[in-house]
Amino acid sequence: MTSPLLDVRALSVEFQTTEGPLRVLRDVSFDVAPGETFGLAGESGSGKTTLGYTILQALAPAARITCGAILFEGRGSLARERR
């Protein structure tokens, strides 16, 4: 079995807003194999762009990873413990 190129594990992300924390990603897990095409579908506001920015380490300052890990080529690019 080929090891995944990208492995997203139990990822949770929230934004700090004036009305308090807004949990946008909750326990998101998936992996993508080398050469595999991965599609992500969801209604507007469901967090697709937030997920992409998180993987690219380009999250807005108001956002933070509260839980989970992202492994690229088996190495951790981002990881946080649950607080």
Ligand X SMILES: Nc1ncnc2c1ncn2[C@@H]1O[C@H](COP(=O)(O)OP(=O)(O)OP(=O)(O)O)[C@@H](O)[C@H]1O
Name the site residues for Mg ion (rule: CB under 5 A): 48-49
- Cβ 4 vs Cβ 53: under 8 Å: no
Between 49 and 57, name the residue whose CB sits nearer to ligand X: 49
Q: If you ran DSSP here, which 8-state letter would residue 60 be given? A: -
Site map 35..54 versus ligand X, x via CB under 6 A: -------x-xxxxxxx----
Paired tokens of 35: 């050469």
Paired tokens of 80: 């946080």
Q: How far is the CB of 3 from ligand X (least distance, A)?
A: 28
- Helix spans in the chain (H): 48-55
Give the residues lining the site for ligand X (CB under 6 A): 15, 17, 22, 24, 42, 44-50, 60, 62
